[in-house]
Chain A
Amino acid sequence: MGLFKKKKEKEEKGANDVAKEVSSNAIFIRVYKNFGSDVSFLMAEYQAKETKDKYNNLVSINTLFSHDEDMDFAEEDVYRELQVILDFKNLSKADRVAKLERKLEIQERLIKYLDRHIEFNALYNYADETVKLRDLRVLLNKVRNHDEKGAFFTIEKGKRVYSFESVDGFLVPLFRGVDSYSTYPDYTRKKKITIQEDQIFEKEMQRYKLETRFASINVIFFVVNMLILIVVMTAGFKAFGVYQNAQEIIHGDALMCAEYTSQINQQYGHLVEMTLLAKLQEQNQSKKPDDGIIPLNPNS
Chain B
Amino acid sequence: MSTKIEKETVKDKDDFKEALDFFNVDEDELAKKVMSSPKFDTKATDKIISIRRIAENYENRLRGKELVKKGDQEIYVQVGKALAGDTFIRLTTGIIKGFADESNLISNKTIDDFRIQFIDAHRKMSGASLRDRSLGEKDLRMIRKLFKDVLWNVGDIITNTQGNMKAIFSREDFDEQSEKEDSLFKKER
Residues of A participating in the B interface, judged by any CB pair closer than 8 Å: 109-110, 113-128, 130-131, 134, 193-195, 197-198, 201-202, 205, 208-209, 212
Contacts and interface: CB of A to CB of B under 8 A. Distances in A.
B33 A116 contact: no
A123 B85 contact: no
Contacts of B84: 127
Nearest to A109: B22
Interface in B120-176: 122-123, 126, 130, 133-136, 144
Q: How large is the interface on B (under 10, 10 to 19, 20 to 34, 35 or more residues)?
A: 35 or more
Q: Is the interface of B mostly helix, strand, loop or mixed?
A: helix
A117 B16 contact: yes
Given A123-B23, A125-B63, A198-B126, A131 B133 contact: yes
B86 interface: yes
Contacts of A198: 123, 126
Contacts of B33: 122-123
Nearest to B139: A127
Q: Is the interface of A mostly helix, strand, loop or mixed?
A: helix
Contact of B23 (A120, A126, A130): A120
Given A116-B15, A120-B19, A208 B115 contact: yes
Contacts of B118: 205
A127 B83 CA distance: 6
Given A118-B81, A130-B134, A194-B130, A123 B25 contact: yes
B143 to A, nearest CB: 11
A265 to B, nearest CB: 84
B63 A123 contact: no
A120 B83 contact: no
A139 to B, nearest CB: 14
